[in-house]
Amino acid sequence: MKGYAMLSIGKTGWIEKDIPACGPLDAIVKPLAVAPCSSDIHTVWAGAIGERHDMILGHEAVGEVVEVGSMVKCFKPGDRVIVPAITPDWSALESQAGYSMHSGGMLAGWKFSNFKDGVFAEYFHVNEADGNLAILPDSIDIATATMLADMVPTGFHGVELADVQFGDKVCVIGIGPVGLMAVAAAAIRGASYIYAVGSRPNCAQVAKEYGASEIINYKNGDIVEQIMTLTSGKGVDRVVIAGGDNDTFIQAIRMLKPGGKIGNVNYLGEGDYVRVPRTEWGCGMGHKSIAGGLMPGGRLRMEKLASLVESGRLDPSKLLTHKFNGFEHMEEALLLMKDKPKDLIKPVVIL
């Protein structure tokens, strides 16, 4: 089969591989639509997970099941499925402790294009099909459904980590596709005011459509000062970080009220330490908590998020700015994600 792969750090290309084998608990899936992600870019061009050779890229897909293992109970060939980017081992102790994304080790629930070939292929392998696949409802089109694999669950997880409560004032730092889904999730959770930080005009427009009250442009001066002006000097109850760099934590802590919470889903690619401003952290006694996490993955989460789309409460299709028809456009779509033209939010490739 054909796949679009990381050949080595900084290099990608088409390769030929055998169709993966199906274990007793697993499924083999043929993709119907796939989307490249900022994480694919970090993997190839920032060497985020170290050197990989001829590893097929991609972890965002919906597809059709072509084979299931002898012990799979809930799926059969022909089923159209949503495949989460994170596919944990559900019997691992970490999963039993509530941290499925770390099943088998830190971040090890992330398998596609990390420990094994990803979804930019004619076929791909899904471990523990019953725990990790979800039936794609007929009412959700395949392009929109690809956003359920990673962008929706990651943005929503940021809001879970920040523990947004109704009436909270929330700042979402970063309004690429992940941050935009955090804006939508904060609105669904009942935030009173949502301050969205970004600079690209089309992202700002979509953030407003998802429920942002104000857009803060980080290129127009200190975002903490802008937040303080908007909140009469009080700050916000919650911060979700979906963009920026290590120093974004400093800003998040400074804009947070005592007792506030930060939920980070942003990938921190550089430096050895993340700094915490001592005074604004209450000299260690400010009850300002920081949680950072990979999204949990799994079937239940996919079904619940798909249900939000089915009911009309969430419309992830606003993220899709660039649509390609045909697998041959895979490279073009991936490079768009790398170059991030101003009008891009998220590309999708329909196979």
Interacting stretch for Zn ion, rule CB under 5 A, among 126-134, 142-150, 181-189, 245-253? 142-150
Q: Please choose which of ligand NDP, Zn ion, none residue 332 contacts, taking the beta carbon within 5 to 8 angstroms, the exact cut-off set by kind.
A: none
Closer to ligand NDP by Cβ: residue 22 or 101: 101
Q: Please choose which of Zn ion, ligand NDP, none residue 244 contacts, taking the beta carbon within 5 to 8 angstroms, the exact cut-off set by kind.
A: ligand NDP
Give the residue, chosen from 12, 39, 113, 132, that forms a contact with Zn ion under the rule CB under 5 A: 39
Nearest approach, Cβ of residue 57 and Zn ion (Å)? 11
Closer to Zn ion by Cβ: residue 260 or 297: 297
Closer to ligand NDP by Cβ: residue 260 or 297: 297
Q: Please choose which of ligand NDP, Zn ion, none residue 164 contacts, taking the beta carbon within 5 to 8 angstroms, the exact cut-off set by kind.
A: none
- Quote the crossing angle between the two packed helices 248-255 and 223-230, to the nearest 10°: 20
Burial (0-12, 13-18, 19+ Cβ within 10 Å), 8 = middle
Nearest approach, Cβ of residue 338 and ligand NDP (Å)? 11
Q: Please choose which of ligand NDP, Zn ion, none residue 296 contacts, taking the beta carbon within 5 to 8 angstroms, the exact cut-off set by kind.
A: none
Question: Which stretches does DSSP call E strand in the chain?
Answer: 2-8, 11-16, 27-34, 55-56, 61-68, 80-83, 124-126, 134-135, 169-173, 193-197, 214-216, 236-241, 256-264, 289-292, 320-325, 346-350
Nearest approach, Cβ of residue 269 and ligand NDP (Å)? 8
Pairwise CA distance, residues 258 & 230, whole Å = 18
**The CA-based dihedral angle spanning residues 190, 191, 194, 196, taken in that order and rounded to the nearest 10 degrees:** -70
Closest residue to Zn ion, based on beta-carbon distance: 37
Q: Please choose which of ligand NDP, Zn ion, none residue 177 contacts, taking the beta carbon within 5 to 8 angstroms, the exact cut-off set by kind.
A: ligand NDP
Closer to ligand NDP by Cβ: residue 202 or 231: 202
Does position 37 bind Zn ion by CB under 5 A?
yes
Chain-centroid distance of CA 212 in Å reads: 19
Residue environment code for 104-142, b if the CB has 16+ CB neighbours within 10 A, otherwise e: eeeebbbbbbbeebbbbbebbbbbbbbbbbbbbeeebeb
Interacting stretch for Zn ion, rule CB under 5 A, among 32-40, 245-253, 308-316, 334-342? 32-40
Beta strands 11-16 and 80-83, pairing class: unpaired
Pairwise CA distance, residues 28 & 341, whole Å = 34
- Quote the crossing angle between the two packed helices 38-45 and 330-339, to the nearest 10°: 90
Closer to ligand NDP by Cβ: residue 129 or 203: 203
Nearest approach, Cβ of residue 160 and ligand NDP (Å)? 12
Does position 146 bind Zn ion by CB under 5 A?
no
Does position 150 bind Zn ion by CB under 5 A?
yes
Beta strands 11-16 and 2-8, pairing class: antiparallel
Beta strands 124-126 and 27-34, pairing class: antiparallel
Name the nearest CA neighbour of 39 among 12, 58, 54, 14: 58
Nearest approach, Cβ of residue 110 and ligand NDP (Å)? 8
Closer to ligand NDP by Cβ: residue 25 or 265: 265
Find the radius of gyration of the CA atoms of the chain. 20
In the complex, the residues that contact ligand NDP under the rule CB under 6 A are: 37-39, 42, 150, 154, 173-179, 197-200, 203, 218, 242-245, 248, 265-267, 294-295
Nearest approach, Cβ of residue 256 and Zn ion (Å)? 27
Contact residues toward Zn ion (CB under 5 A) are 37, 39, 150
